[in-house]
Amino acid sequence: MIVQFIEIPAEGLQVQLTDTSWFPLADIPVSGEVQGTLFLERDVGRVLAHGTIQYLQSLQCDRCLENFNQDRDVEFQVVLEYIPGVERPLEVSAEQEFDPTEEEVEYLSEPAIDVSNILRQQVFLSQPFKALCREDCLGLCLQCGKNKNFGDCGCDNAPSDSPFQDLGRLFKSK
């Protein structure tokens, strides 16, 4: 969905996100609906885009490998600035002043906003670095591979004195 700067009225433009064609379902599996709201406010040569995206994401725990669902509520704010005469957005002249507090500024080569691209970027940026089914997940047993969240497996998981202890056992068995 492309929105031209001139299509944004002075009071702003609110868009309800009902169509999910923009959502990266191939990369981020979800369970259920994707909902959201986007609000665009126009200023001279700039547009402030802010909103929320809600969905239930299907994940796999990085410790125990169990599948689980996590509610995602993504809030975002992006400033979009049009710079006339610049073919590629990264070719900003040295005369352009940058405010270090504006970390989320995207420079555009034409006064048009690809709303789908902004929404996709925000979903990708909001992904967790480490997906855990719960904060106190115990993970898998290093010896037998049993999920320790379901009970003790009985393996001796005492830390060894030497990092080469397992290597020594291999040589002794030969």
Q: What angle do CA 1, 103, 115 make, to 5 degrees?
A: 5
- How many Cβ atoms sit within 10 Å of the Cβ of residue 30? 17
pTM to 2 decimals? 0.72
Nearest to 45 by CA among 93, 8, 94: 8
Distance in angstroms (rounded) separating the CA atoms of residues 149 and 84 = 58
Q: What angle do CA 93, 97, 99 make, to 5 degrees?
A: 135
List the chain domain ranges: 2-137, 138-174
* Tens of each residue's pLDDT in the chain, 174 residues: 888 888 888 899 998 887 888 888 888 899 888 988 999 998 877 899 999 999 999 999 999 999 999 999 999 999 988 877 665 554 445 555 555 554 578 888 888 888 888 899 999 999 999 999 999 999 999 888 899 999 988 887 666 666 777 777 777 666
Strand, helix or coil at 153?
coil
Model pLDDT, residue 129: 92
